[in-house]
């Protein structure tokens, strides 16, 4: 340690960071002051664009070319980072402060072996020679619990899975035993099961090493698991700060409180309550007045808030809030306990199913992307589909909609078999099945106005022309709660949430009977997600359309769905009514998924069901049960024969060799002591 051990490790003093843009200059971070003590873990949360990453980069003194520190100081071990010369700066970077950021895909050099990339840090900061550095690197990889470290050192990044790559990046960051670790969304790009493993690793490592942590995330539950203190950012400002315990128990800023209300608690259903969104949008950083930044969206704002900008003020012994009326902050949930209008309960057993898949498969060469899928969806029902990335959820959606023809099996709509390719289906069949996609940036043709996007859909799907087409387009826009003036806008003028609403309007242009929603809110902030989910519920009530809802977020799926299917490696492994799926007996894979949901609530997190190895690719599908390479309960039979479907009653089916009562007994025991609570994501996933 070069600094005195008494002072703070990192001190941001009134830091303002500006970006020079084409026409103007924006302050992406304004007047942020915070202190991190040695060994402390500080969490920074906030919605997308609030300046979290900018702040992190300032701590590394690594701003983008057009960014400058336009005010304040960044003090690290009592030295002003922005006054160090290049040599001093290099000693700090990687040596005293290390960083892990979001995208493990690109953080490693594709042309160097990963062992070498870790060893480099030892040679540089620990002055080790070649051999000892290589051994130290191997040691470090062991410490981050990578599978088969001896083999991994000799591999190139492209040969590793996302989770393994992130472990290598973490090993690299820890190599020089830094005093501060900056983690910018280190698990956001990973699957839930992998995220759980990595978070677990962080928790363990915190016990072993002395490094302080600046942990940036949009997911409150994750921050709670890792951090001691938390700061909430909004519009570039720090608006609330306190210990994790205090802030989670009693937020002292209306924005923080509202964020909690946007998130469906794990276990809350659409019939229990409506989600509360936050009206309005984030402030335009380039045009700020003197008011409180949150004023346009605040439920308790008053005259004072419109004329004066609040400073950070004390709201508890170690609790700060940038709100004049922090004492009146509504408790989470108070504003949100709105009883929903009655949600129709579709009758799944009666009549002809709207959609039925029989033995559907899809293969490319030797790779089975989908295998042997049987599935029925009733009219008006919401069917939720979950599974890790790469498990074939989107391919299944495309097979149903006809974008990808199945290579085996049949698809039938209302009992009538339909062609595999959308182009060969009848007009009526095309109207019946429409889709809403994940990425707001690409879901609308950027060269067309909203009027022409909706107009074309109305003309083709509803067969209307002229004035009736225009009327219908306006009505659709009204249905998704967008102002009619927006017809004249091009997509680049709309926010992500607005684009997604236009995409929903487009899907509803021809009164579809089945709407496939492929991760429609994954790229959105939670406040926007909440309002989109509400909108989807309203539209369903009026149109009686069935939904196939795909998401990686278990809480959201649970909130919205009547029934749920769990996919693994292109196969369905469990299907059942929502509440049954979230109660034992589970399929072992479902159990791992549920255990991976980050927990809120004071109790120390139970260790997730570690799936150790990454999922095999579709071309490496194992014999027997697809899950057998990772299943903690696998035995001989699983490796030889495909498991049978077992009926747990009420339409709850599980595909496993282990008998249901045996599953149930052990799983109930594992679940008992834990309070299952909500994952709280408050930002977007890339």
Partner 1 sequence: MAVTLTEAGGRRRASRRGVVPLAVGLLMILVWVVTALGADWIAPYPPADIDFLAISQPPSPAHWFGTDQLGRDILSRVIHGGTYVLTIAPAATLLGLGLGAAIGLATAWFGSWFDEAVMRVLDAVMAFPIVILAMLALTFLGAGTGNVVLVIGLVFAPLIARTVRAAALVEARKEYVMAAQLRGEGSLHIMAMELLPNVRGPLIVEGTVRLGYAVFTSATLGFLGLGVQPPTPDWGLMVSENQALLTTAPWTVLFPALAIAWVVVAIGLAADGLKEYLEP
Partner 2 sequence: MLRFFGRRLLLLGVTLVVASVLIFAITNVLPGDVGRIILGPFAPQDAVARLNAELGTDRPIVIRYVDWLTGVARGDWGRSYAFDTAVFPLVVERLGRSLTLAVSGLVVLVPLAVAAGVAAARREGGIFDRVLSTVSLAFGALPEFVTGVFLILVFGIWLGALPIQALPPDGAGPLTVIAHLVLPVGCLVLLLFAYLFRMTRASMIEALAADYTRTAELKGLPQRTVIWHHVLRNALLPTITVIGAQIGWLVGGLVVVETLFKYPGIGSLIHFAATNKDIPLLVGCSLAITFVFALGNLAADLLYAILNPRVRHGRHAH
Residue range at the interface with partner 1 (CB under 8 A); choices 104-112, 362-370, 502-510, 627-635: 502-510
Q: How far apart are CA 200 and CA 605, in angstroms?
A: 9
> Within 593-652, which residues bind ligand SF4 (CB under 6 A)?
625, 627-628, 631, 633-634, 638, 643
Are 330 and 300 contacting, i.e. CB atoms less than 8 angstroms apart?
yes
Residues lying near Mg ion in the complex (CB under 5 A): 53
**Site for partner 1 (CB under 8 A): which residue of 61, 145, 229, 371?**
61
Q: Which residues contact 43 (CB under 8 A, 6 or more apart)?
A: 215, 216, 217, 223, 224, 226, 227, 229, 230, 231, 244
- Smallest gap from Cβ 134 to partner 2, in A, equals 16
355 sits near ligand SF4 (criterion: CB under 6 A): no
172 interacts with, out of ligand ATP, partner 2, Mg ion, none, CB within 5 to 8 A per kind = partner 2
**What is the strand order of the sheet 563-568 is part of?**
433-436, 514-518, 546-550, 382-386, 563-568, 571-577, 653-655, 645-647
Residue 323, both tokens: 């709100």
Are 241 and 230 contacting, i.e. CB atoms less than 8 angstroms apart?
yes
Nearer to partner 2, 30 or 125 (CB): 125
Nearer to ligand ATP, 28 or 530 (CB): 28
- Asked if residue 585 has a cis previous peptide bond (ω within 30° of 0), the answer is yes
3 sits near partner 1 (criterion: CB under 8 A): no
**Site for ligand SF4 (CB under 6 A): which residue of 44, 212, 298, 523?**
298
Nearer to partner 1, 93 or 297 (CB): 93
Are 204 and 153 contacting, i.e. CB atoms less than 8 angstroms apart?
no
If you ran DSSP here, which 8-state letter would residue 147 be given?
S
Q: How far apart are CA 584 and CA 594, in angstroms?
A: 11
- Exposed/middle/buried for residue 106 (C-beta within 10 Å: 0-12, 13-18, 19+): exposed
- Smallest gap from Cβ 524 to partner 1, in A, equals 15
Binding mask 73-112 for partner 1 (x = CB under 8 A): ---------x------x-----------------------
Residue range at the interface with partner 1 (CB under 8 A); choices 65-73, 124-132, 472-480, 563-571: 65-73
15: closest CA among 92, 95, 65, 81?
81
**Site for partner 2 (CB under 8 A): which residue of 14, 109, 445, 481?**
109
Are 147 and 164 contacting, i.e. CB atoms less than 8 angstroms apart?
yes
Please report, for residues 362, 395, 397, 407, 552, the alpha-carbon distance to residue 404 in angstroms, rounded to integers and kept in the order given: 9, 7, 9, 9, 22
260 sits near ligand SF4 (criterion: CB under 6 A): no
93 sits near partner 2 (criterion: CB under 8 A): yes
Residue 640, both tokens: 């030889």
> Within 199-238, which residues bind ligand ATP (CB under 6 A)?
218
498: closest CA among 508, 511, 510, 489?
489
53 interacts with, out of partner 2, Mg ion, partner 1, none, CB within 5 to 8 A per kind = Mg ion
Binding mask 388-427 for partner 1 (x = CB under 8 A): ----------x--xxx------------------xx-x-x
How many of the chain's residues bind ligand SF4 (CB under 6 A)? 24
| φ, ψ dihedrals at 241, nearest 5° | -150, 140
300 sits near ligand SF4 (criterion: CB under 6 A): yes
Q: How far apart are CA 406 and CA 168, in angstroms?
A: 38
If you ran DSSP here, which 8-state letter would residue 459 be given?
I
- Smallest gap from Cβ 163 to partner 2, in A, equals 15
Q: How far apart are CA 41 and CA 202, in angstroms?
A: 11
Burial profile 594-633: b = 16 or more Cβ within 10 angstroms, e = fewer: bbbbbbbeeeebeebbbbeebbbebeebeebbbbbbbbee
Question: In the complex, which residues of this chain contact ligand SF4 (CB under 6 A)?
Answer: 254, 292, 294-295, 298, 300-301, 305, 310, 323-325, 588, 625, 627-628, 631, 633-634, 638, 643, 656-658
Binding site for partner 1 (CB under 8 A): 20-23, 61-69, 82, 89, 398, 401-403, 422-423, 425, 427, 430, 433-435, 437-439, 442-448, 456-457, 460-461, 503, 506-507
Interface residues toward partner 2, by CB under 8 A:
60, 62, 89-95, 98-99, 101, 103, 106-112, 120-121, 124-125, 156, 158-159, 169, 172, 617
Question: Which residues are at the interface with ligand ATP (CB under 6 A)?
Answer: 19, 21, 28, 46, 48-54, 64, 66-67, 218, 285, 683
């Amino acid at each position: 340690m070069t600094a005195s051990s008494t002072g703070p490790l990192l001190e941001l003093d009134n830091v303002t960071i500006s970006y020079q843009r084409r026409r103007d200059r924006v302050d992406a971070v304004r007047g942020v002051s915070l202190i991190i003590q040695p060994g402390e873990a500080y969490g920074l949360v906030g919605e997308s664009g609030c300046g979290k990453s900018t702040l992190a980069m300032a701590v590394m003194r690594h701003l983008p070319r057009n960014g400058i520190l336009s005010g304040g100081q960044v003090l690290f071990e009592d030295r002003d980072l922005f006054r160090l010369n290049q040599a001093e700066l290099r000693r700090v970077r990687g040596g005293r402060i290390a960083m892990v950021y979001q995208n493990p895909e690109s953080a490693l050099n594709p042309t160097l072996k990963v062992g070498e990339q870790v060893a480099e840090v030892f040679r540089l900061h620990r002055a080790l020679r070649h051999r000892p550095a290589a051994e130290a690197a191997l040691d470090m990889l062991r410490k981050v619990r990578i599978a088969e470290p001896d083999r991994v050192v000799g591999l190139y990044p492209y040969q590793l899975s996302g989770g393994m790559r992130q472990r290598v990046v973490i090993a690299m960051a820890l190599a020089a035993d830094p005093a501060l670790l900056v983690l910018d969304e280190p698990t956001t790009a990973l699957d839930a099961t992998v995220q759980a493993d990595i978070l677990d690793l962080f928790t363990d490592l915190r016990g072993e090493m002395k490094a302080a942590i600046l942990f940036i995330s949009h997911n409150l539950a994750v921050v709670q698991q890792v951090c001691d203190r938390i700061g909430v950012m909004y519009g570039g400002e720090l608006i609330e700060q306190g210990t994790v315990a205090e802030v989670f128990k009693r937020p002292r800023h209306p924005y923080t409180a509202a964020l909690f209300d946007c998130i469906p608690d794990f276990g809350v259903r659409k019939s229990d309550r409506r989600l509360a969104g936050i009206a309005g949008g984030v402030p335009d950083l380039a045009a700020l007045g003197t008011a409180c930044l949150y004023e346009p969206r605040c439920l308790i704002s008053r005259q004072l808030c419109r004329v004066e900008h609040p400073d950070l003020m004390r709201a508890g012994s170690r609790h700060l809030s940038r709100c004049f009326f922090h004492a009146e902050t509504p408790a989470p949930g108070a504003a949100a306990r709105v009883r929903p209008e009655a949600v129709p309960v579709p009758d799944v057993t009666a009549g002809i199913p709207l959609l039925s898949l029989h033995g559907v498969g899809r293969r490319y060469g030797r790779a089975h992307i989908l295998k042997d899928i049987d599935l029925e969806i009733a009219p008006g029902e919401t069917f939720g589909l979950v599974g890790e990335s790469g498990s074939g959820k989107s391919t299944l959606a495309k097979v149903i909609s006809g974008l990808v023809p199945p290579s085996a099996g049949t698809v039938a709509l209302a009992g009538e078999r339909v062609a595999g390719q959308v182009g060969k289906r009848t007009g009526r069949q095309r109207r019946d099945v429409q889709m809403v996609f994940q990425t707001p940036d690409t879901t609308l043709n950027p060269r067309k106005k909203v009027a022409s996007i909706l107009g074309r859909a109305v003309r083709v799907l509803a067969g209307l022309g002229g004035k009736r087409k225009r009327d219908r387009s306006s009505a659709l826009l009204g249905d998704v709660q967008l102002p009619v003036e927006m017809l004249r806008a091009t997509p680049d003028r709309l926010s992500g949430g607005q684009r997604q609403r236009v995409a929903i309007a487009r899907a509803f242009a021809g009164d579809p009977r089945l709407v496939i929603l492929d991760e429609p809110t994954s790229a959105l902030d939670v406040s926007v997600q909440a309002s989109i989910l509400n909108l989807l519920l309203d539209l369903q009530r009026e149109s009686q359309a069935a939904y196939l809802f795909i998401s990686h977020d278990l809480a959201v799926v649970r909130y919205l769905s009547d029934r749920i299917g769990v996919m693994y490696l292109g196969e369905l492994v469990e299907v059942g009514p929502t509440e049954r799926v979230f109660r034992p007996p589970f399929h072992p894979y479902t159990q791992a998924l549920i255990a991976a949901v980050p927990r809120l609530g004071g109790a120390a997190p139970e260790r997730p069901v570690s799936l150790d190895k990454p999922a095999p690719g579709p071309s490496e599908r194992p014999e027997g049960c697809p899950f057998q390479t990772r299943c903690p309960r696998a035995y001989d039979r699983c490796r030889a024969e495909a498991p049978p479907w077992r009926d747990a009653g009420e339409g709850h089916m599980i595909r496993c060799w282990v008998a249901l009562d045996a599953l149930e007994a052990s799983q109930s025991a594992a679940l008992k002591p834990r309070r299952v609570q909500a994952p709280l994501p408050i930002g977007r996933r890339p």
